[in-house]
Amino acid sequence: QVTGADPWISFSCGRPVPARKKLRPKGIPGAAGGDSQGGGGDGGGDGVETSEPRCGEGGRHCEACHQLLPDLQLSLGTGLRPPSSMEFLRRRIDSALEGAAGGRYHLLSGRTVDQLVARALLLLRLSALVDSVAQLIDLCSPLLQGEDAEGVTSLAQVQRVCQMVFRLSPARRTLHHKLVDDAKTKGHNLGSLSPLEMTIDRRKAISGPPSTDAGQKAPSGWSVFEQIFAKLRARGHATDPNWFHWAKKSVQWWKVKFVNEGVIDAGGGFRESVSTIAEELMSDRTPLFVPVPDAEDGISFHRDAFLPNPHCRQFEQYAFLGRLMGAVVLGGCEKLPLRLHPIVWKSLCQHELTWADWAAADPCGAKTLDNIAAEVARGTLDDDTFYDMAAELAEQAMLPRQAVSSAQGPAYLLDLIRQAHLDKFAAQMAAIRRGLCELVPLHALYLYCPTALEVEVVGHPDIPFEMLKQSTNLRGFDARGDTAKWLWEVLEEFTPAERSLFLRFGTGSGALPNKINVERRDGRPNSLPTASTCSRTLCLPEYPSKAILKEKLSIAICHREMELG
């Protein structure tokens, strides 16, 4: 129920509020008994008055803050807590919104920092209220959705009523960490210290034809992913969740011998195989994933991301991928750098998908459907034209044409097509989730913020320069010398994709967190850098200029002239 001049900030949750109060979370300087001015006080604000929300009565919060606050939570490291000063919170929000107009926070680009501060304070206050009763949540009841959730203390009911506020709660993180830590302890007790050895033919994977039969019942055997899956399935490991629990001291899940490559795998070959798996899954080498519909138009922020292929029926491979994801979450020794669309991570966490989620993946298709809905509402579209268009749209949503009938009203058909888009790859997602939940408890998965789950599995996909610099150790170089200075400048100028290639060249894995050593090596100015991925070492000659260093390093990382061993 929206109230006030600015409905984006002022709202109540279902029941009329007797009097408008000025609200400030406890712990904010200047608060008096918890009721004060949101967005004001030390550090300024716009003095926005807000109705005191009643979290337990089903308040809904804007998708824009839903998108921003979990990332602020990650950026703060220990999570969003009542800040020590208004200025601290203001700086965090201002930093997160840089470039919002064309980035992931585009929904917030029209809002001022003062408005966002007021909204953040309101959500922090709600989070504190939820924290006070979090210990009453029943983690033993079945995780059912919506109206099927029995009992007011079930996790599904709490999540449904309190929505994103509970996901920002420190108590939620405590519950989540306990569930994941228990699963890790179980895995360490079951795990083996001896990695499985297998032979992989990468040349066969490179020279083999791309996968074109999405419905094939058996793997083609060409890709590295399919080779590893086939070898593990032959030994009964691919479908055994206990095999994916590796011992605490284990640094690799298997040892690989690449045919005709002379690799002695002490970790580098393993990391290279995992990176190759992620690379193949995000290409036409395997049929499991396809580019988002917006890949050609390039309008959305995630235009280079992938979605599960709705035509692919290789559910064993999807479940195998889910088990690999679970091993990454519990093991933490390796990342799986997949470029999956945010709707995939949201679906994995079993959060309700909305039409806005699909519109982010297919903005052109969603806009077409919304325009048709608008014309129907205005009465400017005749029935024959509408049903012809609806039949074509239904086919794109993988609905049979006979599902479109004149006996059904236009509004019903449009809702049916929208829901069909959201359910298009539900079977594939269910298979991935099934494999993932064999290692990570379902309740823990439900408590994840989608962005946090993505970081757990993929690492930090953007490879920030400062984080890369902290992960890079220089050996044999003068920290204040020209080569060290030029290297930092080149890495800062690199795109995130090039920084990922730099990491993969030196370590075999292109994701953070990941440590890499850059070691001084004697060599002529025309020689290229080399790498030993097993020791996570990149050997760099001292070049006479920054331009030559950038040229030689770019050639090396793009052509992967690695010395594995």
Query: What is the CATH classification number for the domain harbouring 214?
Result: 3.90.1750
The CATH number linked to 476 is: 3.30.2410.10
Domain count, the chain: 2
The residues, any chain, with a CB within 8 Å of residue 53's CB and separated by 6 or more, are 11, 12, 13, 59, 122, 126
The full length of the chain comes to: 565
pLDDT at 322 > cutoff 60: yes
Q: What pLDDT does 554 receive?
A: 92
Any domain includes 246 = yes
Confidence band for 60, pLDDT divided at 50, 70 and 90: very low
Any domain includes 524 = yes
Q: What's at 363, amino acid-wise? A: P
pLDDT at 59 > cutoff 50: no
Token pair recorded at residue 318: 């999807």
Distance, CA of 93 to CA of 105 (rounded, Å): 11
pLDDT digits 0-9 by tens, 100-123: 444 566 667 777 888 888 887 777
Q: What pLDDT does 48 receive?
A: 33
DSSP 264-332: --SSHHHHHHHHHHHHHHTTTTSSSEEE-GGGTT--STTTT-EEE-TT---HHHHHHHHHHHHHHHHH-
Q: Which residue has better confidence, 204 or 395?
A: 395
Confidence band for 188, pLDDT divided at 50, 70 and 90: low
Q: Which residue has better confidence, 143 or 441?
A: 441
Any domain includes 527 = yes
Q: What's at 285, amino acid-wise? A: R
- Long-range contacts at 138-145 (CB < 8 A, ≥ 24 apart): 139/175, 139/179, 139/443, 143/350, 143/442, 143/443, 143/446, 145/350, 145/352
Token pair recorded at residue 480: 């204040």
Q: What pLDDT does 4 receive?
A: 34
Q: Which residue has better confidence, 485 or 11?
A: 485
Write the burial class of residue 151 (CB in 10 Å: 0-12 exposed, 13-18 middle, 19+ buried): exposed
Domain with 508, as residue range(s), is 465-559
Q: Which residue has better confidence, 179 or 105?
A: 179
Distances (CA, A) of 455 to 177, 261, 339: 15, 32, 11
Whose tokens are 């292109």? That residue is: 510
pLDDT at 8 > cutoff 50: no
Query: By C-alpha distance, which of 55, 62, 56 is closest to 9?
Result: 62
- Helix, strand, or coil here: 336? coil
The answer to whether residues 472 and 336 belong to one domain is: no
- What is the percent of the chain where pLDDT is above 90? 22
pLDDT digits 0-9 by tens, 324-342: 999 888 876 688 989 999 9
Q: Which of 141-150, 190-199, 312-321 has the lowest mean pLDDT?
A: 141-150
The answer to whether residues 187 and 336 belong to one domain is: yes
- Helix, strand, or coil here: 45? coil
Q: What pLDDT does 510 receive?
A: 76
Any domain includes 220 = yes
The answer to whether residues 333 and 479 belong to one domain is: no
Query: By C-alpha distance, which of 409, 410, 390 is closest to 401?
Result: 390
Q: What pLDDT does 179 receive?
A: 81
Instruction: Give the sign of the dihedral formed by CA 320, CA 325, CA 327, CA 330.
Output: negative
Mean pLDDT, the chain, rounded, equals 74
- Helix, strand, or coil here: 6? coil
What is the separation of C-alpha 201 from the centre of its chain, rounded to a whole number of angstroms? 31
- Residues acting as catalytic residues: 534
Confidence band for 395, pLDDT divided at 50, 70 and 90: confident
Q: What pLDDT does 209 receive?
A: 59
pLDDT digits 0-9 by tens, 213-235: 554 444 456 889 999 999 999 98
pLDDT digits 0-9 by tens, 528-554: 998 887 788 899 998 999 999 999 999
Token pair recorded at residue 530: 């080399």
Whose tokens are 């998108």? That residue is: 67
Q: What pLDDT does 548 receive?
A: 92
pLDDT digits 0-9 by tens, 332-390: 668 898 999 999 999 998 888 999 999 989 999 899 999 999 998 888 888 888 888 88
* Highest mean pLDDT: which range of 137-141, 147-151, 271-275: 271-275
Any domain includes 161 = no
Q: Which residue has better confidence, 452 or 207?
A: 452
Any domain includes 308 = yes
Beta strand pairing status for 530-532 and 537-541? antiparallel
Q: Which of 250-264, 288-302, 303-317, 476-490 has the lowest mean pLDDT?
A: 250-264
Mean pLDDT of 499-528: 84
pLDDT at 251 > cutoff 80: no
- What is the percent of the chain where pLDDT is above 70? 68
pLDDT at 76 > cutoff 50: no
Distances (CA, A) of 24 to 47, 89, 123, 166, 203: 11, 13, 10, 18, 62
pLDDT digits 0-9 by tens, 82-104: 445 567 777 777 776 665 444 56
The answer to whether residues 333 and 470 belong to one domain is: no
Distance, CA of 180 to CA of 132 (rounded, Å): 22
Any domain includes 27 = no
- Helix, strand, or coil here: 104? coil
Any domain includes 549 = yes
